[in-house]
Chain A
């Protein structure tokens, strides 16, 4: 099946001369959830803005639902809903009017029943007559989402939807995303947090400095990147890893009294129980044990280095 969003050779050079997108190509399949991961300034927003028509591409092509976003912009943009990163809302207008405006702007006839459904799903219905300025930050973000859903898009872009959002709303948000997916909506979301991508995405694209470093099925990526480390602090320093523990792929830490065990969270057996038992059997006394997930930062560094090595 043809991809619903197809980006080919996209370059964006801002007026300042800064190259924010450097020959980006990306296909997004109908009905999938794609997480776009990348550090600040990677070009995530620029990529989304260029697809949605907010910035003009310097080179390359984008098509949505088979429609070129420049030549056939009407047909392409009709399919797109965008939740921007910044909370940009008309402050003095009522919530319902703001959402109704979006629907009309996208050429859909007035349908208050649909708007009610959207507002209810986002727990905004009782705020429908409130002015935007009277809402909390999290509610405003939900209004942005309601605006994007008001015109029933087939492709939804969520640019950091969880920034400044509490746990409860985050849960609701993921529920909404899953429901939309079930309805066949394609969803592209950006985030800084790999846990979020892990929780919701089908595929993950990593972007850094205007380049897409990889696009991969989540499961495969997690196998590759989802490593955890257990840092074991001992009561007394040791010179080397004891013979009895040699088969565990242990490293000594920066201090002589720590052992570091790297394991794969995706494996059925992480080997932790056995390791801890054997440490005890080897007569070592534990002071503390902590685990940490390899951070996105480390993954990026790893990816970029890999990329550079070729």
Chain B
């Protein structure tokens, strides 16, 4: 194992994050606060409770998931797209590092950044609503796993993308809708039965559900399903990345 390479990539990426730390942190904090104002205060005053939890608190896990998913995909895709774009990828391709090591460096760095943002949003939420976290360990595990798996997904997007439009396409057209339709702001049981079934094909439902369970002890789908879904998603991403490096898809001519 070339752990030095993992470390080097990780530190290099984190140094990029810290160069732009203010915009990395300020913008999610502001947008989350806006969500609280709009959803928590405006809508929450009409729907006061969902299954015994105040609406303001109910949306917190979904809000965190929304930011963490979008951030993970954006950070990781940009992280690997940028070297492709400016040509520094030559160094990665000629380095004595395996696909696992290169991926680990980039994905860990992207996941660290979105984890930081997730935590910051959680702290912000405490200012707005009364929150309890029933299963803190599970909460952290879900958060970390989500950061990792969606950073993996973002890494794939970054390799696939051939221009900036494509780079933004997936977070915008795929991730955000899936999160909004994934029960971030409502319980699936509020939907008509047909939509409840359709929703079960949305992987984000399992994440949000499991994550919300770790807060309030209630969920739309079983905890086991949530875990299974996130692990399966991670495995698919890993397999795809392995294939990418083996074939050189869009990185090695």
Contacts and interface: CB of A to CB of B under 8 A. Distances in A.
A53 B8 contact: no
A81 to B, nearest CB: 9
B7 A104 contact: yes
Nearest to B88: A88
A104 B4 contact: yes
Interface string B226-253: 0000000000000000000000100011
Top 9 nearest A-B pairs by Cβ distance?
A: A104-B8, A88-B87, A77-B96, A52-B94, A74-B96, A107-B2, A105-B95, A101-B12, A78-B96
Interface residue tally of chain B, by bracket?
20 to 34
Contacts of A101: 8-9, 11-12
Interface residues of A, number: 36
Contact of A89 (B19, B88, B92, B93): B88
Nearest to A88: B87
B5 interface: yes
B90 A84 contact: yes
Nearest to B102: A105
21 contacts: A15-B253, A52-B94, A54-B253, A55-B252, A56-B248, A78-B96, A86-B87, A88-B87, A89-B86, A91-B86, A92-B16, A97-B12, A97-B15, A102-B91, A104-B5, A104-B9, A104-B11, A105-B92, A105-B97, A106-B95, A147-B91
A53 B94 contact: yes
Interface-central residue, B5, B9, B87, B90, by most chain A CB under 10 Å: B90
A93 B7 contact: no
B95 A90 contact: no
Contacts of A108: 4
Contact of A54 (B4, B5, B12, B90): B90
B86 A88 contact: yes
B252 A80 contact: no
Contacts of B91: 82, 88, 102, 105, 147
A157 to B, nearest CB: 9
A100 B91 CA distance: 13
A295 B15 CA distance: 49
B8 A100 contact: yes
A78 B4 CA distance: 13
A54 B252 contact: yes
Contacts of B252: 54-56
A151 to B, nearest CB: 9
Contacts of A88: 86-88, 90-91
A75 interface: yes
Nearest to B12: A101
A90 B19 CA distance: 13
Nearest to A94: B15
A80 B94 CA distance: 8
Nearest to A12: B253
A78 B97 CA distance: 9
Given A74-B96, A76-B96, A102-B91, 6 more contacts: A49-B90, A55-B252, A55-B253, A105-B92, A106-B95, A147-B91
A111 to B, nearest CB: 11
Contacts of B8: 100-105
Contacts of A52: 93-94
A105 B253 contact: no
Contacts of A74: 2, 96-98
B80 to A, nearest CB: 13
Given A91-B86, A105-B5, A75 B15 contact: no
Given A75-B96, A105-B97, A93 B15 contact: yes
A194 B98 CA distance: 39
Nearest to A73: B96
Contact of B5 (A15, A93, A107, A147): A107
Which of B15, B91, B248, B252: most chain A CB closer than 10 A? B91
Nearest to A108: B4
A91 B16 CA distance: 11
A83 to B, nearest CB: 10
A14 B253 contact: yes
B92 to A, nearest CB: 7
Nearest to A92: B19
Contacts of A53: 93-94
Contacts of B96: 73-78, 106-107
A109 interface: yes
A147 to B, nearest CB: 7
A15 B96 CA distance: 25
Nearest to B86: A88
Nearest to A53: B94
Interface string A237-265: 00000000000000000000000000000
Contacts of A91: 86
Nearest to B98: A74
